[in-house]
Structure 1
């Protein structure tokens, strides 16, 4: 008799049950699909959930998998050898548990009582925390409202594309942006201007050896080139046309220096009404270490944790061989965030953390303890993170963050956060 009980790393919350199916070939509907990152593809039919073997946690392909919104657990190659195809399994994407005991299912986590869209979540001592949603399309914006998001903290506009791969014009964006804003109503919506990267190179953009690569041409580095500049103009024209109908904000992506932001701020402001706030996306060590100066000019700053970690650790997040370098539990990472918070001083309220990091198990209370209060995450995480916020106090989080920043190794951080090392393998071990 089989007895499967694996503790993996939780990646996308929710529960799913079904027979185990290896790979993406064949009928995967209502199955739990076991795959490796090199098997990722566009899915004509979606399974019930995923078990991913030896995943590159912060890779663009894994972020795309998040966008499917299915329960997902990450495991090691050794753990995968214990799984047999065809066996009925239950996976819990919020705890990382994989079991063949189908009666172990628990009810889906419900939103906190009183959690409403457009409102902050309160810590146990009354401290407000803003849990915003990062979205790619209108249906995700609608889900964010249903799950109680404070706002739409980030619209990944590069994923809004014409079906025929033509260069999008202002008419296309007026329709796509308006549909998304209507779905998000009454929330404020922050649009990030086109940000080309490895997983989001549109068919209309000529290829280049450095296009979309780590430390290559992306974000504002392409804004002076055609056809990108025409697309940016089209996005701004659409937003300008809508600016009196919705509460909008704008983000300029992948900035490195203050002078760069000032240049593009002036360029964008000529095309956008004064009442629309314009923020800077800080995704490199240089930009986050100069965040106090950015905040003197920008209306707000969003820190892109995924790309920041890539630069900080000098490791391409899409390279499987480097995946262990992108360590979300290394204490040196939190010392960086502590320094950024200290440099920001009174402007810390104007900083939003984006990316996968706040969604990972045990991380949010540490970031709260460092002083951050606004986060943009995938909408399905909001009920889980809201419960975490409501169950702790500022003093408890500050004490936790101080402990994490004081130690030397990932193993020590895992012990402080009470996370098992077999579920969160220590850095480079």
Structure 2
């Protein structure tokens, strides 16, 4: 069918239907990797984010797949878990067997099959050097995130899964700048209840012991398949032709208000345990944010009318800036939102028309593209004019090479995976505002990436 989905999409749909059919017929539980021998390298054609969420870091030493990319959600989860991974290696599965010795270098993106003794020795040295570097960076934990000229910054951590909380504590992060809530809905047959959600949020908030926690409401769509939502009839069984441009993020929440209201109620109850902010994903215009805010206030008012205790004032409600549309109307959005968080992963994808999980076009995914930098600058300037906080919480924030540039663009708050916090702090403490502004001025004059 030339008018329908392409061969790759059809193959993905057949595989997904087959996987669900086998699991339902055999009543098999969601796969867990806890039985894998310690030191296992997981090799697969593809690994979904929900699969990555089940990986046990104490047993899985590395991951390599034929499909995917460095900036996809699966890669983000694996990085958060501290698991070396290389995604997008064509022909990998055909060249391996269950007893194949494999070396995965997540830093260089190299997978070595049947390494020679010399390669193994070199790999062990690289592991030892990496461990020494981590130990040295560990000294950054208690140092303040202050630039050489005294300018203060705020370094927080992203949280994909509760198991990362220990890593967040070790990183020296000043809070959680992005709690992705999709994990609560993954690898289960039913949508989590308000009580289940409240318990999870409260545990995270209490563990942070007074440090702020920013909770992003459910961002379903794109590569994040959630079977519980399908089973509940909340989303279509077969994804949209282009899931990234379809029913995802706030569009789903506004279209399924009962799902949104349940999550908001759980967050508001948990917020009694400590400082919380609430963040809305995939905003493209002011009307969407206003509609989300109306539901937020209505849920709070109904809870108060029932006599429930809520924080006073309510937790701030902010907008993700991850679409060109949101960045271009940031001034108007800033008059409505309590804060901004720039999600550079999706912002790059939508601005550059590049699927970050597609190997054939991954070279075009460039966060240093002038269009991306201008949208970040526009958003930072709009936040300043509206006197609201702004942070960067995408993978761009985790790269210390980009830190001076982002500082020069006016960003003072970063949220990264926990392991990147010390490196970013080191970059912050090694520069001045003037140096960053000079660098940014030079970069922003360029017209090519």
- TM-score under structure 2 length normalisation: 0.74
Does the 8 A contact of 1:142 with 1:184 survive in 2?
A: no
Deviations 1:358-407 (A, max 9, x none): 22351122111111011111111111111111111112222222222222
The answer for the alignment partner of 1:238 in structure 2 is: 266
Quick one: distance in 1 between partners of 2:292 and 2:103?
A: 51
Quick one: distance in 1 between partners of 2:419 and 2:436?
A: 23
Quick one: distance in 2 between partners of 1:114 and 1:361?
A: 14
Does the 8 A contact of 1:137 with 1:180 survive in 2?
A: no
Does the 8 A contact of 1:115 with 1:121 survive in 2?
A: no
Quick one: distance in 2 between partners of 1:139 and 1:50?
A: 18
Aligned pair in 2 of structure 1 residues 342, 231: CA closer, same or farther (>3 Å)?
Answer: closer
The answer for the alignment partner of 2:18 in structure 1 is: none
Aligned: 1:261 with 2:300: no
Q: How many residues align?
A: 381
> Aligned-residue CA RMSD in angstroms?
3.6
Does the 8 A contact of 2:63 with 2:85 survive in 1?
A: yes
The answer for the alignment partner of 1:214 in structure 2 is: 244
Aligned pair in 2 of structure 1 residues 33, 242: CA closer, same or farther (>3 Å)?
Answer: closer
2:147 to 123, 127, 134: 123
Which moves more between the two structures, 66-75 or 300-309? 66-75
Deviations 1:77-112 (A, max 9, x none): 79xxxx9x967858473x779964233532042446
Aligned-residue offset at 1:321: 2.6
Aligned pair in 2 of structure 1 residues 262, 52: CA closer, same or farther (>3 Å)?
Answer: same
The answer for the alignment partner of 1:69 in structure 2 is: 82
Which moves more between the two structures, 175-184 or 49-58? 49-58
The answer for the alignment partner of 2:184 in structure 1 is: 160
The answer for the alignment partner of 1:58 in structure 2 is: 71
- SS of equivalent residue, structure 2 residue 419: helix
Where do 5+ consecutive residues of structure 1 fail to align? 1-23, 411-429
Quick one: distance in 2 between partners of 1:171 and 1:38?
A: 30
Aligned-residue offset at 1:153: 0.8
Deviations 1:165-202 (A, max 9, x none): 21221111121111222222221111111110233332
Where do 5+ consecutive residues of structure 2 fail to align? 1-32, 112-118, 301-309
2:428 to 363, 371, 389: 389
Aligned: 1:224 with 2:263: no
Aligned-residue offset at 1:229: 2.5
The answer for the alignment partner of 2:21 in structure 1 is: none
Quick one: distance in 2 between partners of 1:390 and 1:330?
A: 26
Which protein is richer in helix relative to its size? 2
Which protein is richer in strand relative to its size? 1
Which moves more between the two structures, 62-71 or 36-45? 36-45
Quick one: distance in 2 between partners of 1:199 and 1:317?
A: 10
Aligned-residue offset at 1:44: 5.8
